Amino acid sequence: MKPVFVPPRFHIPLSRRRLLRALAVASAGFSLRGYLAEALTLSPTVTQGPYYPLAKNIPLDKDNDLVQLNDNLILAAGVVTWITGRVLDSSGNPVKGALVELWHADREGDYLYSTSAARNSACDANFAGFGQYFTGADGRYLFRTIKAGLYRGRTRHLHWGITLPGEKTRTTTQTGWNETALDLNGAVWETQNSNDNVFSTVSNSAQRSAMLLDFTAVAGATTGEVEATWDYVAGRTYTEPTYPNGGSLVVAGAPVDGPSSGNARFKLTIPAYAGYSYEIYGNPTFADLGWQALPFSLTQTGTVDRSIHTATAEGSLDVFVEQKATKGFYAVTFRVPGANTGSP
Ligand SMILES: [Fe+2]
């Protein structure tokens, strides 16, 4: 059962705010059964390809409307195409705060960016070429773009990057059109889904068919606009991050041997997050004039050489201090990335 999608209907030009608002309108018409069935099919990871925008002059316009660049009056050339859906984890739960990135070729098959060049002058000057969207609590995203053009070696396709909250790199996949690819003259294109070097390598037929979208005419539109729905189903579970913006915690110090006999240290194990800076205090009362961060070492027998440490990875962080804390407990303060200048 296909999800039923009632698309937003707005007159062009569409402002950014109205496009975002359209999302709420669009979300009412989906079929729950359709979603549950589709959620069982994990989205395969396929190559990012060479055209993710890495050029230095990425425009500020990175919103979810690729058809209109900034407030240009002239829109990108091509069939206006709406795509919406949800980002789901492997259990089918919507993921809030996922970054969805979309990039693809213009109507003529030219990308706006490449890894080696600046903006590609061959690309439609009115085409944004790249967009992004942060999902809301329902996991939903929405893009307005144009039908991707064809270029030699591939059939028609879109590139997607999905980054779940807390992840540091995007997972890439692609979607295509469930149709015979025709060039701008109506001739059958040399590369179809069946012999495309990305889609044809997805061996799981359910996964492959989930990548090839059925685009249908937007009801009531007189301009040839089309729409499709596509859920990205992550092959991993996801836990919403709850780490605070900064603060403190109290940690017991475990006595351990130091560099030499009789030179004991105290080991503190801290749940650390990358980019956060940690300091240790032994007697956390403001009445104590000696209030200052205690020096520590990152190894049990190494040099005590710092009073602040910025974690480079998430996970458990061990620090070793020499000063015994009042009642055996230390106060550990942490500050958000970039908030640590001027620290002792
Ligand atoms: Fe591509």
Summarised one tens digit per residue, pLDDT across range 94-128 is 988 788 999 999 999 999 876 555 778 899 999 98
In degrees and rounded to multiples of 5, residue 185 shows phi and psi of -95, 0
Percentage of the chain modeled with pLDDT above 70 = 76
Average pLDDT, the chain: 80
Which has more confidence, 158 or 259? 158
Average pLDDT estimate for 268-285: 80
In this structure, are strands 226-229 and 171-177 parallel, antiparallel, or unpaired?
A: unpaired
Please compute the mean of the pLDDT values over residues 210-219 and round it to a whole number: 95
**Quick one: pLDDT band at residue 22, thresholds 50, 70, 90?**
very low
SS3 276: coil
Determine the Cα–Cα distance for residues 88 and 84; give it in Å rounded to an integer.
13
What pLDDT shows up at residue 207? Answer: 94
Instruction: Compute, in angstroms, the gap from residue 45 CA to the centroid of ligand 1.
Output: 14
Measured in angstroms, how far is the CA atom of residue 255 from the centroid of ligand 1? 58
Query: What spacing in Å lies between the alpha carbon of 104 and ligand 1's midpoint?
Result: 6
Calculate the alpha carbon distances from 78 to 65, 75, 81, 225 in Å. 14, 9, 9, 10
Cα 54 to ligand 1 centre (Å): 14
pLDDT surpasses 50 at 187:
yes
User: What distance in angstroms lies between residue 150's CA and the mean position of ligand 1's atoms?
Assistant: 9
Position 219 pLDDT exceeds 70 = yes
Which residues lie at CB < 5 A from ion ligand 1?
49
Q: Is the separation of the CB atoms in 333 and 248 below 8 Å? A: yes
Tell me phi and psi for residue 116, to 5 degrees: -105, -20
Q: Please give the helix or strand (H or E) that residue 302 lies within, else none.
A: none
Half-sphere exposure of 12 (CA within 13 A, CB side): 17
Check whether 302 has a pLDDT greater than 80.
Answer: yes
Q: Which helix (H) or strand (E) holds 76?
A: none
For residue 137, report the distance from its CA to the centre of ligand 1, in Å.
30
In whole angstroms, what is the distance from residue 257 CA to residue 326 CA? 19
CA of 211 to the centre of ligand 1 (A): 14
Q: Is 240 exposed, middle or buried (0-12, 13-18, 19+ CB in 10 A)?
A: exposed
Give the chain's domains with CATH numbers.
16-233 (2.60.130.10), 246-335 (2.60.120)
The pLDDT assigned to 338 comes to 65
Average pLDDT over residues 130-146: 90
Q: Quick one: pLDDT band at residue 20, thresholds 50, 70, 90?
A: very low
Strand (E) or helix (H) holding 235: none
Check: pTM over 0.75? Answer yes or no.
no
Predicted confidence (pLDDT) at residue 5 exceeds the cutoff of 80: no
Scanning the structure block, which residue is given the tokens 């609590």?
137
Instruction: Tell me what the mean pLDDT of segment 294-309 comes to.
Output: 90
Give 123 Cα–ligand 1 centroid separation in angstroms.
Answer: 14
Residue 174 has pLDDT above 70, yes or no: yes
Which of 124, 47, 111, 96 is CA-nearest to residue 239?
Answer: 96
Across 75-84, 158-167, 196-205, 220-229, least confident range: 158-167
